[in-house]
Amino acid sequence: MQVRSRALRAWSDEQALAGRARAAPDTTNPPLDAMRTERYGRVAIALHWLIGLALLGQIAFGFLLDDIAPRNTPARAGVINLHKSLGIVLGLLIVVRLAWRLTHRPPAWPSSMPAWQQRAARLGHLALYACMLVMPLSGYIGSNFSKYGVKLFGLTLHPWGPPLPSVYAFFNGLHDVTAWLFVALIAGHVMAALKHALVTRDGVFSSIWPKAPS
C-alpha cells in the first residue's frame, strides 16, 4: 500500500508540474498581436541598407585617410577629393531618404515594446538622421572656406566662400566630432537591432530586413 501511495503521489506531482509548464507564458516568442507585423516598403528598405552600408564605408574611409594618403604626399589631393565626392553623393542620397521618411509613415512599434524603449528608439533615430545630415554638410561647407574647394570626381567646383582658416577649422572639427558620435549611435543601433532579432523576436528587425520572413 505504501508503494502504491508513493506512486500515486509521484504521478500527481508530475501532472502538476506538467500543468504549470503548459500554463507558463512563452517569453521567447511573443503573441502575434504583440508583434510588429507590418513591414517597411521596398524603397525604404533599399535606402536603409544602401545608405547604411555606404555610411560605414565612408566613415572608415575618413578615419583611414592619413594611412591611405599621408599628408604632404602626391596622392593626398586625389584621395581627399574622392572622399569629398563620395560624401556629396551620399549626402544627396540622405536627402532623398529623409524626404521619403517624412512622406511615408513607418510601421507602428509592437505593443510588447515598453513605452520607454519606444521613446529611446525615436530619439535614437532622430540623432542618427541629424548626424546623417550634419556630417556631409559640415564637410562640404568647410571645403568651401579652404583654398582647395571641391573636385567632384575631377570636376572642379569653385569655392563659394573665401579662404578662412578659422571657419574651415570649425566645420572640419564639427565634421570629425559628428563622425565619432555617429559611430557610437550606429553601434547602439546595431545592438538594439540584434536584441530585436535574437532576444525579443518582436518583428521589428524583420520589418526592415530585405527578405520577408516565411
In b/e form, how buried is each residue of 82-111, taking b as 16+ CB within 10 angstroms?
Answer: bbbbbbbebbebbeebeeebeeeeebebbe
Mean pLDDT over the full length of the chain: 87
Report the distance separating Cα 149 and Cα 158, nearest Å: 6
> Which residues 6+ apart lie within 8 Å of 212 measured at CB?
39, 206
The predicted structure's pLDDT at residue 24: 46
Which tens digits make up the pLDDT trace of 69-115?
Answer: 998 899 999 999 999 999 999 999 999 999 999 999 999 999 899 99
The predicted structure's pLDDT at residue 38: 87
What cell was used for 79? Answer: 584621395
Which range among 23-37, 39-53, 93-107 shows the weakest confidence by mean pLDDT?
Answer: 23-37
Give the model's confidence band at 29: pLDDT under 50 very low, under 70 low, under 90 confident, else very high: low
Please tell me whether residue 107 adopts helix, strand or coil conformation.
coil
Q: Which amino acid is at 19?
A: G
Which tens digits make up the pLDDT trace of 202-212?
Answer: 999 999 999 86
- pTM value is 0.80
Instruction: Please name which of 43, 46, 44, 66 lies closest in space to residue 54, comparing C-alpha atoms.
Output: 46
